[in-house]
Structure 1
Amino acid sequence: MKKLLPLLFLIIISCSKNEESDTNNAFGKLVDRDGNTYKTLKIGTQTWMLENLKTTKYNDGTPIPKYAFSDKWNSIAHYQWANTNDLNNVFSEELPSDYYGAMYSDLVLDSGKLAPTGWRIPSKKDFEILENYLKTNGHSGNEGKALKSKTGWIHSGFGTDAIGFNGLANGYVDVLGTPKASEIISNWATTTKTSDGFFRIVINLVHDQNTISYSENIINIGVGVRCIKE
């Protein structure tokens, strides 16, 4: 029996090291000024939020005005919730109003105070780095599908959620302030604008596409946000 003790000791040490490794690779979290808690994950050299931002306050605690139907969208800094009416009946349960996160107007995005402290709104380059990570880690040609959630998309638009990014089809807000295209497309803002300042680069995951697309959208629309760690 004494001869087995060293072997048993080695097994215990080996298990402890594996548990430590798993802990180091565990999901992180961050908390915004509203007290909302988000999962985060290090993906390659980056650390991303795994949920859409839904804060109703800037990171200095100042409230962000909520859009009302009588307002002119983007005339002042506004937020509103994405459409959760489930017109395509892709969910069996009723969705909470903040399920897709908040949709923010351009003035909110440009405030420099939207992202939680220590985080920021990503640039187009940040998303391209994420896209390249997916390409070189077994998802070439299916980068968008790997980011999409497994539920919440119409037709055959479901993703594999291969790295836990859980890209929900949050849609967007049109220039009149109407939320549209939930269950059809994921739109996320970047800090990157065209040289004239009238168009913002937006990241798109579309229900019938497996790749990521980048579009120049006029600044009057509203979009969701995924933050990246500084």
Structure 2
Amino acid sequence: MPLFVAGLFLAACGDDSSGPYLTMDESSSSIQSSGSVASSSSVRLQPCRTETEDNCEYGTITDERDGKTYKTVKIGNWIWMAENLNYDAGEGSYCYDDKEENCEKYGRLYTFDVANTVCPKDFYLASSYQYRILFDQVGADSSAVALKSDHGWEEDGNGLDQFGFSALPGGSRYYEGSYLSEGEVAKFMTCDKDIMGEVTVGLAYNQVKGNMQGGYAGRAAYVRCYRLP
């Protein structure tokens, strides 16, 4: 299935759901044209967190809309939210199994249109290209292991959480309203679409690599926002 991705390193499409969306062929030339900025951003990083030490660069942000405070972590050249957004946007945002306690545990699930509007001030919804860079930074062959939390995953599928990203297995929501895969999968919405629908990033309990999935039309996934330092 052809996958449409955002073409430029600094193209923050999270605050503009109208595009642009580029084909893989188009985005390849765009990525190359972004030059040393993209190259330096995708350099493999050394883990900042081990079983005995935690030297990651953490911070916090407070969402002025509802006063909630979120942990952040610097990975490479970007500051990422280190937990899922939990802003109640009304229609198009959901708690897993429609239970408020799951919003407190995992954050909220958002449809594509809503996800593109909910990041706190000065933060943006990442593109699939930015997630690709993140995977390269933490080690593409073991990106899921590096980014998954070290607890909560089924069948000993915990990660090492080597960069403080702490992805939890909050499952996802299908377009007809059913929920599935709690304990098994973390799904993050990107600001990109392919010809069949939204593009999401997935981390699974039984996989060592992160993956991207197109054709996610009408479903809801979690949101991680980012900004430059």
What TM-score do you get using the length of structure 2 for normalisation? 0.70
Q: Find the counterpart in structure 2 of residue 44 from structure 1.
A: 76
User: For structure 2, which runs of at least 5 residues remain unmatched after alignment?
Assistant: 1-54
Q: Find the counterpart in structure 1 of residue 17 from structure 2.
A: none
SS of 1:172's partner is: strand
The size of the alignment, in residue pairs, is 172
User: Percent same amino acid among aligned pairs?
Assistant: 27
Structure 1 residue 220 corresponds to structure 2 residue 218: yes
Structure 1 residue 116 corresponds to structure 2 residue 114: no
Q: 1:152 to 1:217 in 2, by over 3 A?
A: farther
Counterparts of 1:30 and 1:222 in 2: how far apart (Å)?
24
* One-letter identity of the residue aligned with 1:44: G
Which structure has more RCO (C-alpha within 8 Å, separation ≥ 6)?
A: 2
* One-letter identity of the residue aligned with 2:78: Q
Q: Find the counterpart in structure 2 of residue 201 from structure 1.
A: 199
* One-letter identity of the residue aligned with 2:122: G
What TM-score do you get using the length of structure 1 for normalisation? 0.70
Q: Tell whether the 8 Å contact from 1:83 to 1:182 is kept in structure 2 after alignment.
A: no
Counterparts of 1:146 and 1:25 in 2: how far apart (Å)?
13
Runs of 4+ in 1 over 4 A off after TM superposition: none
Provide, for residues 82-114 of structure 1, a one-character-per-residue CA deviation record: whole Å limited to 9, x for no partner.
2498xxxxxxxxx6542110001223124xx31
Q: Tell whether the 8 Å contact from 1:82 to 1:98 is kept in structure 2 after alignment.
A: no
Q: Find the counterpart in structure 1 of residue 112 from structure 2.
A: 106
Superposition pairs for residues 133-172 of structure 1, below 5 Å?
133-135=137-139, 140-172=140-172
Offset at residue 41 of structure 1 (A): 1.3
Q: Tell whether the 8 Å contact from 1:118 to 1:229 is kept in structure 2 after alignment.
A: yes
- Give RMSD over aligned pairs: 2.0
Counterparts of 1:98 and 1:212 in 2: how far apart (Å)?
24
* Higher-Rg member (1/2): 1
Q: 1:125 to 1:208 in 2, by over 3 A?
A: same
Q: Tell whether the 8 Å contact from 1:104 to 1:223 is kept in structure 2 after alignment.
A: yes
Counterparts of 1:199 and 1:192 in 2: how far apart (Å)?
9
